[in-house]
Amino acid sequence: MKRWLLGLAAGLLLTSPWPTSAAETAYEWNVADIYPSEHEWMRDYQAVQNALPKLAAFAGKLDDAKTIAQLFALNEQTARKLEKLSLYAHLKRDLNIEDKTAARLGAKVEALAAHYAAKTAFIEPELLALPERTLKKLQNSEPLKAYRYYFHELREQKPHTLTKREEQLLAKLLPALGEAENIYDHAARGDYEPPSVKMPNGKTVTLTDDQYAAMLEHSDRRYRKAAFEAKAKSYEAMEQTAAATLYASVKADELYANVRRYPSGLAAALAADDVPKEVFDHLIAATRRHLPALHRYVALRRRALGLDRVHSYDLYVPLVSEPMKPIPVETAKTLIMEGLKPLGADYIRRVHRAFQERWLDVYPRPKKYTGGYNTGAYDTHPFILLNYSGSLDSVLTMAHELGHAMHSVYTNEAQPYHYSGHSIFTAEVASTANEWLLLDYLYKQAKTKEEKLRLLIEQIEQIRGTLYTQVMYSEFERMIHDKVRQGGSLTADELNDLWLGLLKTYYGPAYAADPGAARGWLRIPHFYDAFYVYKYATSLAASHAIVRAIKTDQSGEAVKRYKQFLRAGASDDPIRLLKRAGVDMTSPEPVERVLRHFAFLVDELDRQLSSQNRQPSTLKETNLKGRLSS
């Protein structure tokens, strides 16, 4: 059952990406779509409070299908309200970390959620205490026919379910076990003061996340280095706190896994998604086998930039001399809708609705959450948070988050509440499929050699950032979890050493690992959600296979299968859902295919750089005609 969720065309790029004040509201959330006022929020809050004794009254009575169905119906009504309550507070807080109303409502709903979890903790232990014969009978009964897959999952959880008393106690402890992330979040966003650097023109610039990303692309290497060193130095003040919070988080993960009788935090995380361990193992092993292609790419950067070694601050500087003009949001919208046309008219209509109805909060503001995400509740439309800068990466991020949003829309239209969630393993397929399609469209529309080169590099960076980098993060996670499970500590120095060692392994001999790069781990909030990041890599491989099928299938069956996948939600395990979409993730082949594609792209980059007389080619030329968008 669904648990409560906390929960280029150059000719177009002629205007500023920033709106006028009159137009800006069109690109801001309207949280009143959830609750028009705090009064309505409090009404649902009270309704949830009132429902808790009624839910608790079912304890000890779950022995017939009719009673269980009544409990499930009341539980769903309550959980849907709780989901909206949490969403409202969460969104207000992410718009402004210092919003006192959001903090107050967030604290109230967090306490209410813990109370709800404790009051409903009896459900699964009580069901699992029933004889197997009774569970099978319930699974096939008419009143519970909508929950048949739930009962299948429930029976798989039986070895890891505790007694009623233990489940109640664990439910009460869960907020405290997750407190490390809250402390880190406040340290990294609320207390952290970004440093400033002086630009070559004498202007002082504050290194916010978006500014820092832009500065790492600066053509003046001295300036890139200064920005990198200032940012790295600024993290010294919080690295001890970050090490302590990460250590506490990993300990909590391993404790939870141990209590649930899993052999490790990794095993518990994989089981939560019904993902076999060989999927994780195949991913790591395949990526390790294909590290030479990444090493070649770094070496190409070194030669193209005329450097002795590539430092961290050289990994993002464009290899295209012509600067790219900022992309206005309206242009980004047009490009995305054109690029996603292979998914059909109904998909495009839903994307248009997202823009029309203010599902997106687009621009960065002080104290706003950094980065981007999509969220929502079953009874609301999706909400997409962005920090749009006008870059190509910003456009791709918008397409990515719209993929998540459309996945939710299709699923919520087709599935009941208890199957409306998505495993991250499948959710990231919908988002990265949009990126593949948009990059393919932009590459085909490019008119000049410079545009094609830029988009070729973007495809390479897509795989580097979403697969190679996320697998490196996953290796780091596995290392720190193994260390803690075996009784080790996680000091800042130990974490720095682990991180720096992985950077050297992944980027190869052409890369110079600066000491400042060792603190990269403390910038990754996903480490507080154990073994989350590997799913970006597996999803990229799966979406690459799906998009390849969509582009080569003239019958429309590939698009039909993909739409069925979007509608399926959590109605089956993610491996089976992807198999129905035509991808077998228990095989290493999808990962191998996208990594071979990376190698092809690197060879093509070498050819294009050589043809433009940037640097002499030292790599064997490969005929890639027709493969760039495969």
The position carrying tokens 């309206």 is 330
Q: Cα-atom radius of gyration of the chain, to the nearest Å?
A: 25
Side-chain-facing half-sphere of 440: CA atoms under 13 Å: 21
Give me 296's structure tokens.
């070649």
Residue 569 has what DSSP assignment?
T
Q: Which helix (H) or strand (E) holds 339?
A: helix 329-339
Phi then psi for residue 206, to 5 deg, are: -80, 130
| CB neighbour class for 236 (10 Å; exposed up to 12, middle 13-18, buried from 19) | exposed
Task: Give the whole-angstrom CA distance, residue 19 versus residue 25.
Answer: 9
Residue 310 has what DSSP assignment?
B
Task: Give the whole-angstrom CA distance, residue 458 versus residue 466.
Answer: 12
- Dihedral (C-alpha) 451, 453, 455, 459: value to the nearest 10 degrees? 180
User: What is the 3-class SS of 143-212, one letter each residue?
Assistant: CCHHHHHHHHHHHHHHHHCCCHHHHHHHHHHHHHHCHHHHHHHHHHHHHCCCCEEECCCCCEEECCHHHH
Distances (CA, A) of 426 to 352, 365, 404, 537, 581: 23, 31, 10, 11, 11
Residue 375 has what DSSP assignment?
E
Residue 628 has what DSSP assignment?
T
Kindly name the residue from 401, 461, 475, 604 that is annotated as catalytic: 401
- Dihedral (C-alpha) 336, 467, 299, 598: value to the nearest 10 degrees? -70
The position carrying tokens 């630009």 is 199
Which residues, at least 6 apart from 601, have a Cβ–Cβ distance to it below 8 Å? 456, 459, 460, 463, 624, 628
Phi then psi for residue 126, to 5 deg, are: -70, -40
Number of neighbouring beta carbons within 10 Å of residue 318:
15
Task: Give the whole-angstrom CA distance, residue 382 versus residue 354.
Answer: 8
Residue 491 has what DSSP assignment?
-
613: three-class secondary structure by DSSP: coil
The position carrying tokens 């608790």 is 56
Task: Give the whole-angstrom CA distance, residue 460 versus residue 315.
Answer: 12
Is 451 noted as a catalytic residue in this protein? Answer: no
Do you know the residue count of the chain? 630
User: Which of the residues are catalytic?
Assistant: 401
